[in-house]
Homo-oligomer: A and B are copies of this chain.
């Protein structure tokens, strides 16, 4: 039940506190940006593994290569830091959704969406897992977003899917269940990466495994959606 220590990042943040005051304004600003980013990156790594309550500022600060007091100079509280991290990942998470477009035909839209989402699972697995943690906890911070912006966006995409099936491009299906299936299958490779690796010995970082994942899911779903004359 002990926490595994994350490997400390080789941060570029300077250890000497006085040095920054000798920097020019632009260089100082740059330094602040770098440090802020290092802290947010470390925070994402820790929060996405242990959740909000399970993470300590000490742990995050150590990973970022700064002192705990210094971290609290840049982010006024743990809550504050968490909210910044959560905000950053949302954009990443929702981006591939744009691939589902009425301007494109069904098959290539859906294939493209699966590919993009799996690439997100490969490139930002921590973001996917933190999002999943939030959902499991009942999304206390994201509930308003879910019920507002996301809900609206999903209903729009549902219309696009409905139009595709009405036009005979794909078989009739409840658009919501299709969207949930697309979400579930693609996120699974990030959220359950330990399980995937334990069983297959591979991860999405392996190019051939990514390729085979994309192709298998694409063909399963595209064939599943093929219009069939009864």
Q: Which chain B positions have C-beta within 8 A of A82?
A: 1
In the complex, how many residues of chain A place their beta carbon closer than 8 angstroms to a beta carbon of chain B? 63
- B interface footprint on A189-230 (CB within 8 Å = 1, 0 otherwise): 101101110111000000000001100110111111110100
A194 (CB) vs chain B CBs: closest residue: B139
> Quick one: given A212-B177, A216-B173, A216-B174, are A135 and B191 in contact (CB under 8 Å)?
yes
Question: In the complex the two chains form, is A180's CB within 8 Å of B191's CB?
Answer: no
Does A20 interact with chain B (Cβ within 8 Å)? no
Least Cβ distance of A27 to chain B in Å? 35
* Contact with A54, one of B48, B54, B174, B223 (Cβ below 8 angstroms): B54
Q: Which chain B positions have C-beta within 8 A of A107?
A: none
A48–B133 CA distance with the chains assembled, in angstroms: 10
A223–B195 CA distance with the chains assembled, in angstroms: 27
A222–B225 CA distance with the chains assembled, in angstroms: 10
A184–B181 CA distance with the chains assembled, in angstroms: 8
Question: In the complex the two chains form, is A217's CB within 8 Å of B147's CB?
Answer: no
What residues make up the interface of A, taking CB atoms closer than 8 Å to B?
1, 4, 48-54, 79, 82, 129, 132-133, 135-141, 143, 146-147, 150-151, 154-155, 171, 173-174, 176-178, 180-181, 183-185, 187-189, 191-192, 194-196, 198-200, 212-213, 216-217, 219-226, 228
